[in-house]
Structures are given as structure tokens and as C-alpha cells.
Structure 1
Amino acid sequence: SGPAYSYPTQVTVTCNSGYQLNGVSSVTCQADGTWSDPVPTCTPRACPALTPPTNGALSPPGPYVYQSTVTIFCNSGYQRNGASSTTCQADGSWSNPIPTCTPRQCPGLTAPTNGALSPSGPAYSYPTQVTVTCNSGYQLNGVSSVTCQADGTWSDPVPTCTPRTCPPLTPPTNGTLSPLGPAYSYPSTVTFTCNLGYVRIGASSTTCQADGTWSNPVPICTVVFFFTNTVVCPMLTAPPNGALSPIGPYFYPNQVTLTCNPGYQLNGVSPVMCQANGTWSNPVPTCTPRTCPSLTPPTNGTLSPLGPAYSYPSTVTITCNTGYQLNGASSLTCQADGTWSNPVPICTVVCPMLTAPPNGALSPIGPYFYPNQVTLTCNPGYQLNGVSPVMCQANGTWSNPVPTCTPRQCPTLTAPTNGARAPPTGSNSYQNTISFSCNTGYVLNGNTNLTCQADGTWSDPVPTCTRKITLS
């Protein structure tokens, strides 16, 4: 190692750990007092390109050389499984593998008493949405759906299901009811009794139904005096899910009007008339659930139950086949007016996850559904070979393959007159370095080493070799 060298000394050049030699490994002091080659350079050793984890990102984006440290981040709602950083080591390998980013888990949910959850669990992860419904006869107190949030907590507490209440009842005049109240909820039953000397006209009891209405009206307690020429018709009872007016008693030629509760339709004749022979003009009609239009399962999905007919207040659940995402409501209810609460959703195809090309990036990260588009870009010094953006197609495939990022090429350089270049050919890709030297008796004018830059140009012009002038 110096300080002076004489002909024909040969000097070997080595690089420190983590650095690689660019140029010849030894130079010789020649007879004319010049070195046989330019002194090589030592550049940091490069490590392989890194691919960001799915639902995560890297910082900085690369390229990476010895002692570079890369920090790995996970997107909001995802947690890292593995080391938070990795370092490019002297041997060109990484100190840690790239971790994975998995959805953050939310605590388990318990269905409310007299209710249900959809989906039912047992585990929930970001960004799952859970719908809460109550059994027939119960009403929801709180939000109808809760979402697993990015911080691993639920957006709202699970609501409760409380019995549906019916309107208050007043005891019939000259009668009592039991229990007395003050409030009644599904499925309470109230019994009516008339005082001594009075007769009940109507049902002996009524039940608070799932829709919040009473199964029968409050009866009346009356004393009926019949004359020998009075025609009396039998007492009528309201059909299930219906009502009648007036309550009775009924004499020729009284008329009784029968109606159905919301969601039910009348099958038969109303009104009916008490006839002179003591019979009714028509039988008591019935109230049947109103039907909704038939449903067709979404393409790549199923309905449950399947049908063939649906009536008020049926609920139908829609699920998509594996590889498809539900767009729309997950359940439909046949409403009182004979229409569905929501349109049938669609099942959208899911395309395979994409990985950014080495020395490149993609946006957005995913997951991907038809017709999402993904834009791919290359790092500085690299150029895109292929199509960007690419689109997730209706058949679940991408419109084009993922493009590649290749090093940008600089113009080919030739050795200067009366000089040479090392290596003699090639090495015109991004970050490549070419060394120049002059023949014996010539002096180099310019920079010895030129590097191919990210914009496809060389760091300096090619040097020239001019004859050495010797003074005598």
C-alpha cells in the first residue's frame, strides 16, 4: 500500500465487506511510469428486489444496496406478522423475510336473546359487516348491523331484541280483563269476563301477536232481550290476521264487514248479511298472506329458502359462490304491500391478487373485483414492458399479464481513439459503470468512470486520449 510504487510493481485492489469491485482487480506500474489500468471502484453490494406484502407497503421503495434498511407497513385494518424492518447485509442477502399483513380480528359476538347474527361467526375480521335480526314478535333496539373496524373494535354495540308491544286494552263495560296491564307485549294473552247478569258477545280472550296487533277485539258484555219474532244469526269470529265490524249480536238484516291486517288479503265476500232464515249470506272469508313476485338466484349465487313462492313476511337470504363478492343487501323481506324490501343483489367475480413487478409498484393493492383497474409503474431507472392499467374482467381473469420493469438502457459507448474501455462491450443498463483508459504514451482527458443514469443518459461524456508531451 504505497506511498510510492516503482516499475514493475503490481498492486492488488480489494473492497471492504459489503462492497464489490468495478474494474480490474490488479494494476501494474509500467515501464513508462503509468498504470496498466485505472484504479477500480468499490460500490455497495446490491440486495434482491423486495415485493410489498399483500395489504402492506415498503419504505423506501428501492433499489436496495448494502446497509439499506427497509421498513414494512401494513394497511389500516391489517396487522403485521413478522419483523417490522429488514436490512441489506454484506453478503447481499436480507436480514429478515418480508412479513405478512393479516386482517385485524374483532372480538366474538353473541346473538341477542330472541335474535340472530348473519354471518354467525365464530370469528370476525376487518372489514366484516354483521347483520342483526330479531325473531318474529320482537323488535330491534339499536343499529341493524355492526362492522369490524380497522382498530379491531366493533362500530356499535350489539342491539337487543325486546318483545313487540300491543296497544293498551280497556275492560269491557260491565266486565273485566285479566291480567289488567298496564302494558302488554308479545305473546301475552288477556282473558275477558262479564259481570253477573251480563253475557259476553265476542271472543273470551285475545293474544298480542308478532306484528303488534291483538288477535281479537275486546268483546262487549250485554243483556239481550229477544222477542218471539226476532231473527238472530250466529255470532261471527274474525278470521286469523283479520277483523270484523260490528262485533254483534246480529239480527236480521244486519251486515258485518270483514277486513284483513296489513300483509294479508281477503279471500271471500265482505260484507256478509244476516238473512231472514237466521243464516249468513256467505261464509266468513279468510285472510291469507300476500304473495311477493318469484325470485331468481343471482348468477353465481344462491337463495335460501329457494321458493317456489314467497309470502308476507318471508325473508330470503342471498349468498355468493366461492370466488364471488356480494354487491347489495344480503337478505330480502316480502313486505305487507307484496313487494320485496330490496332488489336481488349481484355476485361480482373476484380476480386473483396481483404482485408488483420487481423494481416496480402497483395501485391499488387489492382485493380486486370486476371491473376494477390496477395501475403498474416502475421505479426510477426502469421502464415498463407491457400494458398498464390492467382490468379485472367479468370472467375473473386480468385483461393483460402483469408487465415487467427492465433497466433503462443508455446509448452504446465506444472506446476513445488510442484508448480502451472495460468491459469492452455491453454494460449499458441503468447503474452499470464503464471504465476508460488510454494506450501507452497517451493521457486521459475526462472522467475515468461513466455510469448509466436513471434517465438513460451517461453521467459524463466519453473521455479522450491525447498524446503525452515529453519535454527534452
Structure 2
Amino acid sequence: MTYRLLIGRLGEFGSTVMLECSTGFYLGVGHRTLRCLANGTWEGSDDPALCKIISCGELPTPPFGTKLGTLTTFGATAIFMCNHGYTLVGSHVRECGADGLWSGAETKCLAGHCDSPDPIVNGHISGDGSSYRDTVVYQCMLGYRLIGTSVRICQQDHRWSGTTPVCVPITCGHPGNPANGRTNGSEFNLNDVVNFTCNKGYILSGNARAQCRLNGQWSNPLPVCKVVNCSDPGHVENGVRQSGLHYPEIFSYGVTVVIHCKRGYYLLGSAILTCQHNGLWDRPTPRCLAISCGDPGVPPNAVVSGTHSWTYGSVLQYSCLPGEVLVGNSTRNCQEDGTWSGAPPYCTGASPGLCGDPGIPPHGTRLGGEEFKTKSLLRFSCEAGYNLIGSAER
């Protein structure tokens, strides 16, 4: 027994102590606290509480077994054994603790040969028999599959047949990547989902997603990534198309087409077209337009005959009014570079004060009227996309 000071200094008048017991003992009936009186005695010392050893009570002997040990107080142990043909279930050795309880689990002797079957992680066992020829069945939780034998039998040698199976996650494995595409996802177990995408310039044909099923198979096969095709850009009038493709031409992503114009025509737009990943050409189809030399005008007192289209290959014929003589070339041709051949002719004896028609440059316009007398003013401008070279006013 020990003392614990509650009030004052030990041994002085008015001090109070509490009686305490060692581990495994408890205070019985009587005074548990003592107080120092003025006469030098302890109040309550005539009937102090005493420490008594803790008892855990009698442990019964299990049927079909024996128990070694008769004590039931703190620190006492009991050892259990089962008769031949019976299996001990629970604790083989139990000890009386300071809390008044026996350690371990209740001991039983069951008629059987085998111990409890080994547990299985992520699964459960059906069947609770352990006698000779009793069976247990192992099953896995949802999302897992059994590796090993699902049924085990209690044998005559007190062992369960076979080995303990294991439950492993159901997995479908990586489904692979579609050609010219990829699989997105890092988990491939039951109910996991992967998504399929195609590389730039390819379009998905098939299912874009798949889910891992209970049978370990993906719900959908791998899709196919088909190359994107552009529509036929067509043939340009008065032009020649070159693609380097064999017949029949298929204009897939990345294919380029080159357009050339025939002689006498010029290209308006881009000469190279490229099929893009969205199935559209990167530029609009160009056009081949006839080369024009423009209106060359009419010299004073001259007459111009021939075609009036002023395009490549056109021929103009010059002559003078009666009484005039033509000086220079009598014909002029529209050339491939967009200019007229030779210099403009003129007629001798021209009326003073007349300059004649100066013409209109190709892709240009003229303002100022149709009179070409002295002090007449003409203004020239170009179409959008063209720059004026020369005088803007004459």
C-alpha cells in the first residue's frame, strides 16, 4: 500500500493523505483518506481500507478439453488444451489482468481437424465448418478476380487442401494506341474509362471511349484514325493543275496542288494550295486571267482597226485620214509581258492643238473626258492591288 498527499505537508497537523494500492490490487471497505489531528494521530487509522488482490473469476474448462491452472487472481495464468480430434479455437493461454478481466478470447474445443482457413484480402470465405471433409469457398469482392482454387477441403492431416488463393484487381490492360492517334488514360482496371484521340490531320472513325468490363475486356475495339481529305479544288480555266498524285487523285491532309496558267494568261491568287487538317484548302482557288495590254489610244487624225479586246495576241492596224501620211509601225501586237509592240505611229500634217487619245493602262482607269485638246487634263488611277508607275496626271 502506498500514500498520496492531498493537502498540506506530510506529517503536519491538517495534512491529508489518500491510500492507494499497487497494480493488481484494490482498496476494500474502510477509510480511504487519513487526516493528521492535533493530538498527533491520524483520523481514520482505526479502520483503514485494506488492499485486496484483484480476482478475474473462475474460467470454465471447455467441453472436450482441459485447463491447467487453478488460481483466478491478478497475474494468474490458465492454459487450455483440447482432446484428440478436437481443434482449439480462441486463446491457448489466458492471463488475469489488472482490470479484472482474462486476456485473449474465449477458448472452445470444436470437433474438427483444421484450423480456421487463411483469410483472403479483398474477398471473403463462405462456410464455417472445420471438421474432416468440410469445405470452404473463397470469393472475391466486385472488381477483383480469384487466382487459385476457390474450394478448399479439410483433410485428415488437419490441413486445408491446396493453397490460399488471392484476389487481384480485374484489369483489361492497356488497349493500345490507334494508328495515327493515342489513348488517353492511365488506369485500366474494372470500370475505368479511356478516351481515344487522333493526331492532327486525322479524323476518328469508331467509338471515342471504352470501359473496362467484368470479363477483363474493353467495351469497344480500338477506333481507326482516317486521314482528313479535302475536296477536289477543281481545274482552273485556262490553267494547268499539278499535284504529283496518281489517278484517282485523293487530296489528303498535307497534299499541295500547284496551279500554272497557260500562255497569254496571268495568275490571280496563290499558285500553291495546301490541304489543311480541317479538310479545307488554305487558300481560295486562283484564276487565270487573260493578259491585257490596255487601250493604246488613237493618234490624232489616225484610224485604228482590228480587235478591241486588247488581250495577248491582239493585232491593231493603224491608218491616217485622207491627205495624211502614217509615220511609224502600221501594226502593233499585244505581247506576253502586257505591252504593245513598237512605238505608237503618228500622222503627218496633224491639226495643231490636238494630242490624240493617250489610251488607258491595263488595270487602270482614266478621268477627264474624251477631249484631247491643248490644256485638257486627264487623271489616271489603278485598280486595287496595283501601283501606279508614271504620271498620275497628263
The two structures have a TM-score, normalised by structure 1, of 0.41
If asked which structure has higher relative contact order (CA below 8 Å, sep 6+), I would say 1
Bigger radius of gyration: 2
Q: TM-score, normalised by structure 2?
A: 0.48
